[in-house]
Structure 1
Amino acid sequence: MKRFGLSWILGAFALLPVSAAFAQDECSEITSSLQVVPCSEAAKKTADNQLNTSYHQLMARLESQYLADPKLGEEYSATVKESQRAWIKLRDTNCAVEAFEIEAGKPAYVGVVNNCIASMSQERSAYLDKIAPDGVSGTNASCPSQDFVQFLPAFSAKAESQQRLTALAVKILVLKRTSDPGRFLPEITAEPGASLTFPLMAAIQGRSETVQIETVDDTHMNVVDKRAGNSDIKIFNFAKKSCWALVGIEDWSLSERELIAPARAGMSRAENLCYQRAEGLGGLGFLEQYRLTAELIEASLENYVCAAESGDPEASLSAARLSLSQMAPQLETSKVEALFKAASTTASGALGYATFFCNGNSTDYNGPCLHPEEAEREVIRAVSMGSTDAMDYLGSSFENGQLGTKDLSRALACYQLSAAKNTPQGLDGVKRLVSQGSESIKASHCL
């Protein structure tokens, strides 16, 4: 896995898909063969997420229940780990057998394997949930409701009800800084339910777009709480025992204690923290491994915009590019132009500003350059700052007339500047133009 950085994000935008998963309602009824693979992938991912949750919740229960005999608890946990590794191998080989008579790689093959994995993972989750059960202090008599929609408001209403209906061992997920600066990864631990600080969630009353209930299966529910914004999302995992019980908390925020001291000159402390959150949350989102991919990328954009209030060119360029990536909400045109203008003090920013002058605030514009004179001015500025990408861009523009002027001699001169720095695009451009026509092209001047 690579660290999420500016150079990587700029190069990756054109290659990333808009979405990797179908919405749940699109898969409630399969009516087209085109739904088979994406819906099976969605089912597999949901089941894998729940299996991961059930496994870590079991580890949390064992740690909590064997505090008096940690050695025995470690032996129990080691046995479970060995069993889980063996089961994963069994699952994968079983599903290969199930799809054996279908040609590998075909949509039908992928669909069968994915659905097989989803089904076996669901069964395994249920099995793990039954190992070392801890129960909750609530009984059937004191259970607010077996209907989760009615249970949730009663659970969240008071600290006392939350404490009473929380499992004895709870899986806790938090984001932790890694040894790679700017990179964060989820870390899962176990906590005794009694040691948590209640209330864990604010009271929930009625329907809200910022509080989403996800049905995993008949005995598992997730509550995605976005009331504090995309930079502070929490997911609460519930399992059905004698009553519904809170068994896991996922905190997808980056706390200040995980961030380094402000380091970017020209930024206030708050803007520095925004920049670090933008890098960290975006890095997690662009891995596309977690259920909150879209929210994490949106949070990254929000934090880049916050950091860009300082006028920092890197933060400004990252915000503008991310807005045009189709992976985050698109900012209004005046805001995008202001961001590119602030970024244009750097070579990459000037080149980005040039593409904005050509394409405007559009993610799919395919016509002639809208403002060729302004675009050429910014590309020339980028070339003067040593950008080989700008040299190649300007060479291509002179070669094909993209900015209104077709001049092969200037194109060759620009490619030669790039080739002198041993870039593949520059070398290819020189070779292509030198080999054209019966009369050799002589380079004049790039700038």
Structure 2
Amino acid sequence: MNRFFAVPSCGMTTHRLNQWLSIALLGIGLCTSAFASTGQQCPANNFADFVKIFSSDSAVQKAFTESPIKATHVVAEGNIPKVVVRSVKHLPADELSVLSAESAAASNLAIGITFPNRVVVRDQQGAFLKIFVFKHSDCWVLNSVEDWTLEAVMDDVARTDRPSPGERELKKGVMFDRLVNKASGESGVSLYAAALDSYVDGARKGSAQAAVAAAGISLSGQAPRLPNEQILELMNQAFQSNPDDGVFLSLFYCDEGEYGDHKACIDPQKSMATLENAAQRGSTHALLRLGDVYETGTVVAADLPRAMACYREANKTENKSGPAAVERLLARGVIADSSIVCIGAGHTQ
């Protein structure tokens, strides 16, 4: 068989002419592509079609996998995860089995094609993540496998005698988040998604910290956006454990995570009720936010004397922002009136 596959209808008669015309015509799409090193005909030039064939045909996998191939995985080095990149002659025998739809389904894995050249295999708990990267010349060729699965690493770096519920998942999410800096921009998208999955799993298992982390990374735009109902559920879970998270929740009641043009607060009653609840439970951050709300009139009508009361109340436990705010209002001629209280204004509009 010729080194380059040629389509007979292209009219080539000699071996050298075959080679030259095949290369030339491939460039303008008039002949069938081929894999130069094996003579194997390219099964498809459309990436999605190619992946479908590649994932289920071991002969195609063998023919269209580069050798040597770049392999990336994460190991534990002391208490720190380390990314190791190697050039290997052959992949392990079962490395590509997860690309099979049947194998993936049996392991509760999802296979996603990320154009232009990646296949991402992952679960929904942040427990499994592999990225298969292809390049295209005459045909698609697998030239890199990135294994970001962290379960074995977690056994080494997150060892705790008595972990709290969801603690392992929280730490795993943080690890994924930090590993983004070690990955390409394209792979970083998948790592952020795995971080979100880990946080959500941690929240499901009882971690309030994981709950606020899940809501935060989702709203940041780095990870996929969760439905508003789920974000509210996560924020409320965090708020029940930590009153300071009430500020985060109150903001979401106003803007639902849309940070564009200044608009009227969507639900001022729930926003204010959350802030007051948080302040009553001891959150200085909530007191400062209440002062800001009454000073600026962004949620309810401006009420400078009440803003002063909130800032003065915050002064009892906060020695920087509170005093500065009090001085600012004093400079505007606002009188500190001890008969006016911060919490319990009871009016919204």
What is the TM-score with the length of structure 1 in the denominator?
A: 0.53
Q: Corresponding residue for 2:113?
A: 211
Deviation (angstroms), 1:404: 2.9
CA distance in 1, matches of 2:174, 2:185: 16
Describe how 1:360-375 pairs up with structure 2 within 5 A: 360=256, 362-364=258-260, 366-375=262-271
CA distance in 2, matches of 1:141, 1:370: 63
Q: Corresponding residue for 1:411?
A: 307
Q: Corresponding residue for 2:287?
A: 391
Instruction: Output one character per residue of 1:160-193: Cα deviation in whole Å (capped at 9) or x when no partner.
Output: 6545655553321113446566xx4532133342
Between structure 1 and structure 2, the one with the greater Rg is 2
Match of 1:379 among 269, 275, 283: 275
Q: Corresponding residue for 2:129?
A: 232
Alignment check: 8 A CA contact 1:144 1:151 kept: no
Alignment check: 8 A CA contact 1:175 1:186 kept: yes
Does the C-alpha gap of structure 1 residues 186 and 348 become closer, same or farther in structure 2, counting only changes over 3 Å?
Answer: farther
- What secondary structure is seen at the aligned counterpart in 2 of 1:291? helix
Structure 1 segments unaligned to the other structure (5+ residues): 1-137, 215-221
2:47 corresponds to 1:145? no
Alignment check: 8 A CA contact 1:325 1:363 kept: no
Q: Corresponding residue for 2:17?
A: none
CA distance in 2, matches of 1:304, 1:414: 34
Q: Corresponding residue for 1:255?
A: 151
Describe how 1:249-288 pairs up with structure 2 within 5 A: 249-259=145-155, 260-261=158-159, 264-265=163-164, 267=165, 271-285=166-180
Alignment check: 8 A CA contact 2:131 2:187 kept: no
Q: Corresponding residue for 1:305?
A: 200
- What secondary structure is seen at the aligned counterpart in 1 of 2:186? coil
Alignment check: 8 A CA contact 1:159 1:198 kept: no
CA distance in 1, matches of 2:182, 2:141: 31
- What secondary structure is seen at the aligned counterpart in 2 of 1:253? coil
2:229 corresponds to 1:327? no
Describe how 1:82-121 pairs up with structure 2 within 5 A: none
Q: Corresponding residue for 2:92?
A: 196
Does the C-alpha gap of structure 1 residues 423 and 253 become closer, same or farther in structure 2, counting only changes over 3 Å?
Answer: farther
Amino acid at match of 1:171: K
- What secondary structure is seen at the aligned counterpart in 2 of 1:414? helix
CA distance in 1, matches of 2:181, 2:276: 32
CA distance in 2, matches of 1:272, 1:387: 24
Instruction: Output one character per residue of 1:187-217: Cα deviation in whole Å (capped at 9) or x when no partner.
Output: 2133342x62345245579xx9823463xxx
- What secondary structure is seen at the aligned counterpart in 1 of 2:225? coil
CA distance in 1, matches of 2:181, 2:283: 26
Q: Corresponding residue for 1:72?
A: none
Q: Percent identity over the alignment?
A: 21
CA distance in 1, matches of 2:115, 2:193: 20
CA distance in 2, matches of 1:398, 1:147: 64
Deviation (angstroms), 1:232: 1.5
Deviation (angstroms), 1:436: 1.4
Deviation (angstroms), 1:292: 2.4
Does the C-alpha gap of structure 1 residues 279 and 315 become closer, same or farther in structure 2, counting only changes over 3 Å?
Answer: same
User: Which stretch of structure 1 is more off in the superposition, 368-377 or 311-320?
Assistant: 368-377
Amino acid at match of 1:339: L
Higher relative contact order (CA 8 A, sep 6+): 1
- What secondary structure is seen at the aligned counterpart in 1 of 2:329? helix
CA distance in 1, matches of 2:266, 2:244: 20
Q: Corresponding residue for 1:170?
A: 69
Q: Corresponding residue for 1:24?
A: none
CA distance in 2, matches of 1:144, 1:356: 55
2:252 corresponds to 1:353? no
- What secondary structure is seen at the aligned counterpart in 2 of 1:233? strand
Question: Which has a greater percent of helix?
Answer: 1
Q: Corresponding residue for 2:213?
A: 318
Q: Corresponding residue for 2:231?
A: 336
CA-atom RMSD in angstroms: 3.9
Match of 1:425 among 309, 321, 326: 321
Alignment check: 8 A CA contact 2:311 2:323 kept: yes
Alignment check: 8 A CA contact 2:295 2:307 kept: yes
Amino acid at match of 2:120: D
Deviation (angstroms), 1:139: 7.2
Does the C-alpha gap of structure 1 residues 398 and 310 become closer, same or farther in structure 2, counting only changes over 3 Å?
Answer: same
Does the C-alpha gap of structure 1 residues 405 and 152 become closer, same or farther in structure 2, counting only changes over 3 Å?
Answer: closer
Alignment check: 8 A CA contact 1:285 1:297 kept: yes
Instruction: Output one character per residue of 1:322-377: Cα deviation in whole Å (capped at 9) or x when no partner.
Output: 33333333333322222222111212322222223333464547333333343233
CA distance in 2, matches of 1:366, 1:294: 29
What is the TM-score with the length of structure 2 in the denominator?
A: 0.66
Does the C-alpha gap of structure 1 residues 321 and 164 become closer, same or farther in structure 2, counting only changes over 3 Å?
Answer: closer
CA distance in 2, matches of 1:372, 1:202: 49
- What secondary structure is seen at the aligned counterpart in 2 of 1:323? helix
CA distance in 2, matches of 1:209, 1:170: 21
Does the C-alpha gap of structure 1 residues 197 and 272 become closer, same or farther in structure 2, counting only changes over 3 Å?
Answer: farther
Structure 2 segments unaligned to the other structure (5+ residues): 1-34, 102-109, 344-349
User: Which stretch of structure 1 is more off in the superposition, 256-265 or 304-313?
Assistant: 256-265
